[in-house]
């Protein structure tokens, strides 16, 4: 870990200790951690890791990656299917008002049992820590989160959930207010928090899972097709793999 990463990581550790998300560990299950730069807030570009390290730019936000490959290789993953996207759309189509709720920090809103925390341990240049909340990168997390959402909202016929995206749909605004009140009461009771800047309330059309959904039906989100159309034509294997990865994320 470079000196610049060490400085940034100390801030990361301090912040997560204050939140109660991590704790000091003496676990033998130790995974490595490294930083990947996000988009430069000035240029809007995402520099490569080597370029970022050479630049010495400490203003670029970072995404911390935990290398849980060994842990995942010996983990027995519960067979929990994710919802079928087509079935979610079938439920949503034909309504006149929609609200999208984006849950903040996703897996970090799930607590980890004390007996399981040692498996999430990671090593730093000074200390070893383990997660008190569910971390990113551990096998089985999408299914576990999906099971939680299913348990909370499956009885509501006006809600669909896919991972951290919740869509509330109704036949009228009056009905929608009551539906939203019921959903927000569940979130309040379970202490699940939304990312308000990413929510959209009372819309006649919403972007959901790469598609536009409205009373008229479902269509591909034009922003997704535009991004693919503008993507540079791959000229070698590395660029092709990058394009395929980009396409899967759209």
pLDDT tens-digit profile, the chain (250 residues)? 667 778 788 889 999 999 999 999 999 999 998 877 776 555 666 667 677 667 766 677 778 889 999 999 999 888 887 888 889 999 998 899 999 999 988 789 999 999 999 999 998 888 999 999 999 899 988 888 889 999 999 999 999 998 888 999 999 999 999 999 999 999 999 999 998 899 999 999 999 988 899 998 888 887 877 777 788 888 888 888 888 877 665 5
Question: Which residues lie closer than 8 Å to 111 by C-beta, 6 or more apart?
Answer: 132, 133, 134
* Neighbour order of strands in the sheet with 97-102: 159-162, 165-170, 97-102, 200-203
Q: In angstroms, rounded to a whole number, what is the distance separating the alpha carbons of residues 114 and 118?
A: 8
Is pTM beyond 0.85? Reply is no
CATH class of the domain at 3-216: alpha beta
């Amino acid at each position: 870990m470079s000196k610049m990463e060490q400085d940034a990581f100390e801030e990361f550790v301090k912040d997560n200790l204050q939140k109660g998300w991590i704790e000091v560990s003496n676990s033998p299950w130790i995974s490595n951690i490294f930083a990947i730069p996000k988009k430069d807030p000035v240029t809007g570009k995402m520099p490569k890791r080597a370029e970022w390290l050479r630049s010495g730019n400490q203003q670029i936000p970072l995404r911390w990656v935990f290398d849980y490959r060994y842990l995942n290789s010996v983990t027995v993953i519960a067979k929990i299917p994710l919802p079928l996207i087509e079935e979610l759309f079938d439920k949503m189509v034909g309504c006149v008002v929609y609200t999208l709720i984006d849950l903040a920090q996703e897996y970090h809103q799930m607590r980890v049992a004390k007996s399981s925390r040692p498996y999430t341990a990671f090593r730093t240049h000074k200390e070893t820590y383990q997660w008190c909340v569910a971390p990113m990168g551990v096998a089985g997390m999408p299914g576990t989160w999906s099971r939680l959402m299913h348990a909370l909202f499956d009885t509501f016929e006006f809600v669909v959930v896919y991972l951290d995206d919740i869509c509330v749909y109704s036949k009228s605004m009056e009905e929608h207010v009551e539906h939203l009140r019921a959903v927000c009461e569940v979130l309040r009771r379970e202490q699940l928090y939304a990312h308000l800047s990413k929510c959209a309330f009372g819309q006649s059309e919403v972007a959901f899972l790469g598609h536009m959904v409205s009373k008229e039906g479902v269509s591909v989100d034009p922003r997704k097709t535009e991004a693919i159309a503008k993507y540079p034509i791959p000229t070698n294997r590395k660029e092709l793999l990058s394009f395929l990865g980009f396409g899967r994320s759209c």
